[in-house]
Amino acid sequence: MFCTLGETSTLRPPPSPSARPEVLINLSLLLTFPGPDGEKTWPKKYPFCGGVFQSPIDFHNDILQYDTTLLPLELVGYNVSSTDHFMLTNNGHSVRMSLFPTMHIRNLPFQYTATQLHLHWGNRNKPEGSEHTVSGRHFAAELHIVHYNSDKYPDVTAAIDKSDGLAVLAILIEIGPFNPSYEKIFSHFQNVKYKDQIALVPGFDIQELLPDQLDEYYRYEGSLTTPPCYPSVLWTVFRHPVKVSQEQLLALETALYCTQPNDPTPLEMVNNFRHIQEFDERLVSVSFRQGNFIPATVCSAGGHCLCKKTKIHACLKMLCQFLQVAHTIAMTKGKIFQFYVMHLYSQFHSFILYSFPHLWFFYTDKRDRTTFLFLNRKLRL
């Protein structure tokens, strides 16, 4: 038998040793897959799981826009001495490795501090376990490196439900040659075979787990991919996948169990990925050029809109008309105006954020999906 996403019901966290408690922020209670019926039942107990800004998503050309302001990520403190040790834990739904608080990401709106990494995968018969997809294509697995906003919050527990609380680096994994860097984690799977088991992993450079090109990625605002699905994650999904061997992937797919060693009916840990979520025609910023992306600027000074023919042409046309009216009012009154929009659908959220950073400041109330927009007349257009 095997367990999949949604089939682990025990919420008990793994034991926490006394060493380095500040690093062992426990997310297992928040990231456990509850109930026997899988993710379709999540919204009943966790309303955010049925809300907006959910992850993962599919990256396809119709929602991608090139953004020249996106910078290569700067990773600080990722190279950890082999005399220090990471803690690897089987928490019943994934294998998770705690990270040191000396690890940071820069070139984001805030400084984000690392807390843990974990993996998502499929099964030996269908090795398509990535959470994010590209043009409908699943990859074999996906690695997530979780960070919290340490400029604003004292720890990940305080940050996890805040709209700017988390930043996750996602690495897509596909089959290729043997990967010695991933083996530094995979070689310990036999020591964490069952739920609540823990192993120590000698320190190494975590950046080795990432693709070489850190300047090419997808960027969007989304959510945790497990309950309670808080829309609190700034996602960076790297464009280029990392390769592991067929044997390494098989070890990931077959070595781990959701159950404890003495359980009479052991359940194999497989298919621990969430399915693709609706994206409501929001836009994803990308740091690279490819194909016919939606332009980053579709409204010029004076309110003359340059809507392109895409699948969201009607959406763009409506937004352009709104912008023209707003611009005219602002030019007439000559001061900052506040516009309250009762039914501006959620697909406008990322469009306004990324397409008009020089023009708009906005706040979205994710509970009732209303949006406040502010047009600053004093800014040069």
**Closest among 381, 301, 376 to 339, alpha carbons compared:** 376
| Catalytic option among 85, 93, 118, 275 | 93
**Residue 93 is a catalytic residue:** yes
Residues tagged active-site = 93
